[in-house]
């Protein structure tokens, strides 16, 4: 892996790999998560994905990608703790494996630079027709979320779980109310600020000519960033008491979502033990939630847990019969208590570790894994080799799992049930 600073706050990372027959180029714009800019960044990613000065519509974009042997291009937004990321990525066939002299990697980088740095603009604003179309599309996407009851319940839990931080409540794609206020001129003003101020991470993976890639990105002309590096972690506030919000809608399957404080952070103290704990609690088909709540007691259509080690929280999602709410809440609590008491076998722990290791090793077959990991490594300023990761998982003890379980505190719940007759 080769890292080069193109300007202050602008870094190029090249991950040389002969494993894949494609090359992937990704540019990430990272900024501190702010309630007032989340929706702007989401709409901006849609605009940059579908138009530019050289490719004014999606047909022109598609033709350009087709000319590069069917290159794949996309954009999107995401959140890691207190950081918001806007990403554009292109994956192109490596010309070394094709009977062609066409410099595909060079063309892909040039395409990405044109899309990012030369948007479709007229009279100091984004093209109005394109802006209106993408704004309407994003509004439809946001509104459709309410139809996904499981996702809706998860978002409502976030609202309660992060009551003291509005930016953490808002989904990474934004809100319809914020979207309504955006204009083509105002969004172009924000785009210019993003280009000048955001931390930029460019990640290139594949069998590439590192010197040629570096030279091409040096010509992009990025300037020094004045803002500092975004913080990698958000510390959730532990209320030490359980508060549940309930809502009724027309649905057949109730949703119970629970939010816990768990102050364990990515690659920090207790991190590897927390990964195994989550598998044991609800993160795998061998977990206590799956085996006891779903299978043995038949109290849930699904029941699982997930870790967010960039915000220090643990979440449980369960689909249940609404009348069983109290019983489900109690049996979920009992599974956590059992782990805290050491009620699990060493053989089960070894099976869970093996599952984590298999998932980890399978992920290494994906080219995107290398790019995602390079971005997280830069965000956290930590790097762990594959060998060290495996060693850390294998060395987790039952005592460490119990210690993590004792750090878990239930804070919030959201219960979405059907309307009673």
Q: Among 12, 24, 349, 70, which residue's Cα sits nearest to residue 199?
A: 12
Query: What is the spatial distance between Cα 30 and Cα 232, in angstroms, rounded to a whole number?
Result: 11
CA diameter of the chain: 70
CATH number at residue 26: 3.30.830.10
How far CA 199 is from CA of 20, 114, 165, 216, in Å, comes to: 28, 19, 23, 19
Going by DSSP bridges, is the β-strand pair 199-206/254-261 parallel, antiparallel, or unpaired?
unpaired
Q: Does a structural domain hold residue 227?
A: no
Counts of helices then strands in the chain (DSSP H, E): 16, 13
Q: Does a structural domain hold residue 97?
A: yes
Q: Does a structural domain hold residue 226?
A: no
The DSSP call for residue 311 is T
**Tokens representing 243?**
């508060």
Domain match, 302 and 214 both: no
Q: Does a structural domain hold residue 342?
A: yes
Domain match, 291 and 407 both: yes
| Runs of H (alpha helix) within 73-206 | 104-117, 128-144, 149-161, 166-169, 176-180, 184-197
Q: Are 200 and 35 in contact (CB under 8 A)?
A: no
* Range of the structural domain that residue 119 is part of: 2-219
Q: How many CB atoms lie within 10 A of CB 244?
A: 16
| Number of domains the chain is built from | 2
Query: What is the spatial distance between Cα 20 and Cα 47, in angstroms, rounded to a whole number?
Result: 30
Query: What is the spatial distance between Cα 313 and Cα 2, in angstroms, rounded to a whole number?
Result: 34
Domain match, 208 and 265 both: no
Q: Does a structural domain hold residue 236?
A: no
Going by DSSP bridges, is the β-strand pair 409-418/243-249 parallel, antiparallel, or unpaired?
parallel
Domain match, 267 and 186 both: no
Q: Does a structural domain hold residue 232?
A: no
Domain match, 392 and 345 both: yes
Q: Burial, 365: exposed, middle or buried (Cβ in 10 Å; 0-12, 13-18, 19+)?
A: exposed
Q: Does a structural domain hold residue 112?
A: yes
Domain match, 303 and 190 both: no
Strands (E), 294-397: 302-308, 313-320
Q: Does a structural domain hold residue 108?
A: yes
**Per-residue tens of pLDDT for the chain, all 421 residues:** 899 999 999 999 999 999 999 999 999 999 999 999 999 999 999 999 999 999 999 999 999 999 999 999 999 999 999 999 999 999 999 998 898 889 999 999 999 999 999 999 999 999 999 999 999 999 999 999 878 999 999 999 999 999 999 999 999 999 999 999 999 999 999 999 999 999 999 999 999 999 999 999 999 999 999 888 889 999 999 999 999 999 999 888 999 999 999 999 999 999 999 999 999 999 999 999 999 998 888 999 999 999 999 999 999 999 999 999 999 999 999 999 999 999 999 999 999 999 999 999 999 999 999 989 999 999 999 999 999 999 999 999 999 999 999 999 999 999 999 876 4
Domain match, 206 and 264 both: no
At residue 99, the pLDDT reads 87
Domain match, 200 and 249 both: no
Domain match, 200 and 58 both: yes
Domain match, 277 and 183 both: no
Going by DSSP bridges, is the β-strand pair 72-80/2-7 parallel, antiparallel, or unpaired?
unpaired
Domain match, 212 and 247 both: no
Query: What is the spatial distance between Cα 218 and Cα 211, in angstroms, rounded to a whole number?
Result: 10
């Amino acid at each position: 892996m080769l890292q080069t600073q193109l300007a202050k706050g602008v870094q190029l990372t090249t991950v040389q790999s002969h494993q894949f027959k494609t090359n992937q180029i990704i540019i990430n714009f990272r900024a501190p998560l702010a309630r007032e800019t989340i929706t702007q960044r989401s709409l901006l990613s849609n605009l940059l994905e579908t138009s530019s000065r050289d490719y004014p519509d999606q047909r022109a974009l598609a033709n350009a990608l087709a000319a590069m042997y069917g290159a794949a291009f996309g954009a999107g937004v995401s959140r890691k703790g207190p950081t918001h990321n806007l990403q554009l990525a292109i994956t192109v066939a490596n010309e070394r494996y094709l009977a062609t002299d066409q410099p595909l990697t060079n063309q892909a980088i040039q395409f990405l630079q044109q899309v990012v740095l030369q948007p479709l603009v007229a009279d100091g604003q984004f093209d109005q027709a394109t802006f209106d179309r993408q704004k309407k599309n994003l509004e439809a996407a946001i509104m459709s979320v309410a139809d996904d009851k499981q996702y809706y319940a998860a978002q409502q839990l976030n609202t309660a779980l992060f009551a003291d931080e509005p930016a953490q409540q808002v989904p990474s794609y934004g809100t319809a109310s914020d979207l309504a206020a955006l204009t083509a001129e105002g969004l172009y003003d924000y785009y210019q600020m993003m280009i000048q101020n955001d931390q930029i991470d460019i990640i290139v993976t594949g069998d590439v000519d590192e010197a040629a890639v570096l030279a091409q990105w040096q010509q992009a002309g990025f300037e020094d960033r004045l803002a500092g590096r975004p913080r990698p972690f958000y510390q959730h506030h532990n209320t030490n008491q359980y508060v549940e919000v309930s809502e009724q809608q027309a649905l057949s399957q109730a949703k119970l979502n629970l939010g816990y404080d768990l102050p364990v952070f990515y690659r920090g103290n207790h991190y590897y033990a927390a990964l195994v704990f989550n598998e044991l609690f609800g993160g795998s088909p061998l977990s206590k939630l799956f085996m006891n709540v779903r299978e043995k007691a038949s109290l849930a259509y699904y029941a699982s847990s997930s870790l967010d080690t960039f915000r220090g929280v643990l979440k449980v999602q369960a689909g249940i019969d609404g009348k069983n709410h109290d019983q489900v809440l109690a049996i979920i609590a009992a599974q956590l208590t059992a782990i805290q008491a050491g009620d699990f076998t060493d053989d089960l722990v070894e099976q869970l570790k093996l599952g984590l290791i298999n998932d980890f090793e399978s992920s290494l077959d994906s080219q995107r894994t290398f790019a995602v990991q390079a971005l997280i490594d830069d965000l956290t300023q930590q790097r762990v080799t594959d060998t060290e990761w495996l060693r850390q998982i294998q060395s987790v003890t039952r005592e460490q799992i119990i210690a993590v379980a004792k750090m878990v505190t239930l804070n919030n719940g959201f219960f979405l049930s059907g309307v009673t007759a």
